[in-house]
Amino acid sequence: MMSADVENGMVPSDATSEFLRRVYELPAGERLLSCIQCGMCSGSCPLGYAMEYTPRKMIAALRAGRIEDLYRSASVWLCVSCYNCTFRCPSGVPITDRLIGSLRGDMLSRGVGVPAELQAAFEKTTRYGNPFGESPKKRPDWTKEAGVDVRVLEEGDSAEVLWWVGCFPSYNKRNQRDTIALARILSALGVDFGIMGSDERCSGDIPCTSQGEEGLFFSLYEHNSDQLRNRKFKDLLVGDPHAYNAFKKEYPRLGTPLPVRHYTQYLAGWSPELRRVMKKELRAKVTYHDACCLGRRNAEYEAPRVLLESVPGLQLVEMPRNRENALCCGGGGGGNWLDSFIWQRTRVPLPMQRVQEAAKTGAQILAVSCPLEVPRFEDAVKTAGLEGRLGVRDVSDILAEALGLSGGPS
Amino acid sequence: MKVAAVLRQVPDVVEELVIGADGRSLSEADLMYVTNEADEHALEQALILKGRDGAHVVAISSGGDEARAALASAVAKGADEAYFAPVPFASRADNHHLAATLASVMKGAGYDLILTGVWASDQLDAGLGGLLAAELGLPYVGGLTSVSAPAESAKATVRKEFPGGRLGVMEVDLPAVLGIQSAENPPRYVPVSKVMQAKRSLQAQTIPPAASHEARVHLRKLTKPEAATRAEMISGSPEEVADRLVRILRERGVA
């Protein structure tokens, strides 16, 4: 029971003081103190209009000692970790990682206000190492359809490139097409590569997507870093920008530096070679959507564009909101599991807005480099009535077509 | 108010079940275990009683070693005590044996309520609750969706959803055994860090298996279901699939 003084905001609640103490101990956590209440975050947030507490107001509530108000609000769960606020904050406050991430962690450990859909994804990831609740043994099953040899690296094995496939690319039927495309490209380039098969688990892109389940992240980190340590490789290749962020930023923080590259960065290094062998013309207008975790979060805007521009016949056009201003697909921050929760409070899905922006450029293809975006944008294309006008394709799939590697098992 | 919740470990069907060489059991090496879903609801209902009426919750998990992980998770969620009932692999689907084992620690231990999931996926016969009640000489009612038992009260009020959309409200004399179909709210989530912490400090007492138990139901054969009719999988392009479908519907006189 809160005392009247706490209720009136005369003194901060114990929970608020405790929370702030913990945040200040985190790397750059004390920067929360330098918030100047300018509201840049709230204005930049693509879902700020639906938040009872925007990031600025959250900080104001904490300063007033009223964390309990945030527990009672859904605002904390509307964040889709697009990093617009963090990117634009003039005071360098790590809003997404520290404010939202820590608030979610706090609510998770108190068991207050956590949407059930997110809990289910956590439970499945804890138990099976993927958020779908699929069998860990079936993770490498897609390789049977690949039509090229994909080596599974056992402990002690080595390869030039260790390819971290990821959960969506391994299990999701639609994403598997792009996974197979990438396998064929690597194989056609003669790259010595291998995957970890069923020893791979979710990368734990949880801190980066600020879902707050730090304990789950840590247990995945422990499993994965052990598995990686037991194999030799020069490059760690990933297709999922969230995994890229986790391996680039979070794993080193815990003592495991990794030579990680997003597949678009890796293949951009091969672009002279690719240009030589790409025979098939792809006469299409294509617009590229920057994934938040690759773009704003990790400043990679060029590699996917270099690859797309190397495709004969392909004309790359830009949406008005591109690169650091790109609109989020709404799948980060656990948003992929919270679509209906967020929809009930916003009614205007982000992926729907984004595919409409893409269609307005006159492009026939919306190119993406994050596996979450393929199913999200394809669904949005259907609901927006753009079917037949706008296709959604991963960069790997476009490259494979230009290389003549698409179609049934070869 | 002292409440027990039974957490049976059952085969996780996310992994394919493999029939063992004897043709009568599942291959143990291929099995992964999970807490029976209805038992998760029994625990949740017990924790709701703790939150509402200050009940003392005892989690009892049965099965192999993986039952300890279920206990750690139960303690992290708020269970006050933990018991581990090891069950040999060969006896895992034997409710009579499990009821006798559990009754040995429950008898005279002052439980007001014993909650089990109404059924378990490895047996399907919803037998444990009733058998346990018979062993303990207590009343049993199953298929429940809520339990209310204020402290110091001699009765529990329970709700049961009947088929056809009717709800029954019943009073049960305490102590009693209850079969939970679903708790009043979905099983709560507990962060992994709390489970890890509970795992490290877990103090679970072991329940010795019931002695002199003679199985009187014997499993003869375990097989895959036999397909009664053949299903035809239609493959090809959407146009080909549509053509084939239309042809089939015409042949059958449906369209």
Q: For residue B118, tell me if it sits in a domain.
A: yes
pLDDT (tens digit per residue) in A26-56: 989 999 999 999 999 999 999 999 999 999 9
Q: What is residue A210's predicted lDDT score, i.e. its pLDDT?
A: 59
**For chain B, how big is the Rg over CA atoms in Å?**
22
Looking up tokens 């429950």 gives B106
Domains of chain A as residue ranges with CATH: 4-114 (1.10.1060), 136-267 (3.40.50), 271-402 (3.40.50)
Tell me the mean pLDDT in the region A167-194.
Answer: 97
Distance CA A104, CA A332 (A): 14
Q: What is residue A2's predicted lDDT score, i.e. its pLDDT?
A: 54
**Would you say residue A384 has pLDDT above 90?**
yes
Indicate which of B35, B193, B196 best probes the interface with A, i.e. most A CBs within 10 Å of its own CB: B193
Q: For residue B196, tell me if it sits in a domain.
A: yes
Q: What is residue B125's predicted lDDT score, i.e. its pLDDT?
A: 85
Contact B196 A213 (CB under 8 A): no
Q: For residue B232, tell me if it sits in a domain.
A: no
CB interface of B with A, residues 68-97, below 8 Å: none
Residue A176 pLDDT grade (very low, low, confident, very high; cuts 50, 70, 90): very high
**Contact status, residue A208 vs residue A246, Cβ threshold 8 Å:** yes
Q: What is residue A375's predicted lDDT score, i.e. its pLDDT?
A: 96
Distance CA A219, CA A166 (A): 17
Q: Which H or E element spans position B238?
A: helix B238-251
Q: What is residue A112's predicted lDDT score, i.e. its pLDDT?
A: 86
pLDDT (tens digit per residue) in A312-349: 999 999 999 999 999 999 999 889 999 999 999 998 89
Side by side, the strands of the sheet bearing A365-368 are A314-317, A284-288, A365-368, A391-394
| Closest Cβ opposite residue B194 in set A109, A122, A137 | A109
Q: For chain B, give the percent of residues with pLDDT over 90.
A: 78
Chain A residues within 8 angstroms (CB to CB) of chain B: 105, 108-109, 111, 114, 116, 119, 122-123, 126-128, 133-135, 137, 213-216, 218-219
Q: What is the largest CA-CA distance in chain B?
A: 70
| Closest Cβ opposite residue B14 in set A114, A128, A219 | A128
Which residues of A are less than 8 Å from B195 in CB distance?
A: 215
Which residues of A are less than 8 Å from B73 in CB distance?
A: none
Residue of A nearest to B188 (CA): A111
**Would you say residue A12 has pLDDT above 90?**
no
pLDDT (tens digit per residue) in B123-171: 888 899 999 999 999 999 999 999 999 988 899 999 999 989 899 999 9
Interface predicted TM-score of the whole assembly (ipTM), two decimals: 0.85
Q: What is residue B233's predicted lDDT score, i.e. its pLDDT?
A: 85
Q: What is residue A10's predicted lDDT score, i.e. its pLDDT?
A: 65
**Would you say residue A388 has pLDDT above 80?**
yes
Q: What is residue A7's predicted lDDT score, i.e. its pLDDT?
A: 65
Q: For residue B211, tell me if it sits in a domain.
A: no
**Would you say residue A410 has pLDDT above 50?**
no
Q: What is the dihedral of CA B40, B44, B45, B48, to 10 degrees?
A: 180
Residue A209 pLDDT grade (very low, low, confident, very high; cuts 50, 70, 90): low
Q: For chain A, give the percent of residues with pLDDT over 90.
A: 86
Tell me the mean pLDDT in the region B211-237.
Answer: 82
**Would you say residue A290 has pLDDT above 60?**
yes
**A33: nearest Cα among A21, A45, A44, A41:** A21
Tell me the mean pLDDT in the region B175-181.
Answer: 98
Distances (CA, A) of A214 to A24, A217, B25: 16, 5, 40
**Would you say residue A3 has pLDDT above 70?**
no
Please, which residues bridge with residue B177 across strands? Answer: B114, B140
Please, which residues bridge with residue A288 across strands? Answer: A367
Indicate which of B14, B37, B40 best probes the interface with A, i.e. most A CBs within 10 Å of its own CB: B14
**Contact status, residue B66 vs residue B10, Cβ threshold 8 Å:** no
Indicate which of A122, A124, A201, A220 best probes the interface with B, i.e. most B CBs within 10 Å of its own CB: A122
Q: Which H or E element spans position A314?
A: strand A314-317
Q: Is B237 on the interface with A (CB under 8 A)?
A: no
**A144: nearest Cα among A185, A191, A189, A197:** A197
Q: What is the largest CA-CA distance in chain A?
A: 75
Q: For residue B125, tell me if it sits in a domain.
A: yes
| Closest Cβ opposite residue B14 in set A109, A133, A214 | A133
Tell me the mean pLDDT in the region A269-282.
Answer: 93
Tell me the mean pLDDT in the region A73-93.
Answer: 96
Which residues of B are less than 8 Å from A116 in CB distance?
A: 186
**A365: nearest Cα among A295, A317, A306:** A317
Which residues of B are less than 8 Å from A218 in CB distance?
A: 192-193
Number of Cβ within a 10 Å radius of residue A352:
19
Residue of A nearest to B15 (CA): A135
Residue A200 pLDDT grade (very low, low, confident, very high; cuts 50, 70, 90): very high
CA distance B83 to chain A (A): 22
Q: Is the pTM of this model over 0.80?
A: yes
**Would you say residue A206 has pLDDT above 90?**
no
Number of domains in chain B: 1
State the pairing for strand pair B155-162/B166-173.
antiparallel
| Tokens (6 digits) for B162 | 């009947």
pLDDT (tens digit per residue) in B48-90: 999 999 999 999 999 999 999 999 999 999 999 999 999 988 8
Q: Is B193 on the interface with A (CB under 8 A)?
A: yes
Distances (CA, A) of B33 to A378, B37, B129, B151: 37, 12, 21, 35
| Closest Cβ opposite residue B191 in set A108, A128, A137 | A108
pLDDT (tens digit per residue) in B97-122: 999 999 999 999 999 999 999 999 98
| Tokens (6 digits) for B193 | 């860090």
Q: For residue B217, tell me if it sits in a domain.
A: no
Distance CA B33, CA B10 (A): 5
Distance CA B255, CA B247 (A): 9
Residue A1 pLDDT grade (very low, low, confident, very high; cuts 50, 70, 90): very low
**Would you say residue A13 has pLDDT above 90?**
no
Distance CA A160, CA A109 (A): 42
CA distance B226 to chain A (A): 24
Contact B189 A123 (CB under 8 A): yes
Q: What is residue A9's predicted lDDT score, i.e. its pLDDT?
A: 59
CA distance A110 to chain B (A): 9
Tell me the mean pLDDT in the region B178-195.
Answer: 95
Q: Is B151 on the interface with A (CB under 8 A)?
A: no
Q: What is residue B44's predicted lDDT score, i.e. its pLDDT?
A: 98
Which residues of A are less than 8 Å from B189 in CB distance?
A: 108, 111, 114, 119, 122-123
Which residues of A are less than 8 Å from B48 in CB distance?
A: none
Which residues of B are less than 8 Å from A216 in CB distance?
A: 191-192
| Tokens (6 digits) for B150 | 């204020």
**Would you say residue A156 has pLDDT above 50?**
yes
Which residues span the domain enclosing B128?
Answer: 2-206
**A393: nearest Cα among A177, A170, A245, A240:** A177
Tell me the mean pLDDT in the region A123-151.
Answer: 95
Q: What is residue A408's predicted lDDT score, i.e. its pLDDT?
A: 65
Could you tell me the CATH number of the domain that includes residue B42? 3.40.50.620
Distance CA B131, CA B97 (A): 10
Backbone torsions φ then ψ of A47, nearest 5 degrees: -115, 10
Tell me the mean pLDDT in the region A380-387.
Answer: 96
Please, which residues bridge with residue B224 across strands? Answer: none
Tell me the mean pLDDT in the region A275-283.
Answer: 92
CB interface of B with A, residues 19-48, below 8 Å: 34
Indicate which of A107, A110, A123, A125 best probes the interface with B, i.e. most B CBs within 10 Å of its own CB: A123
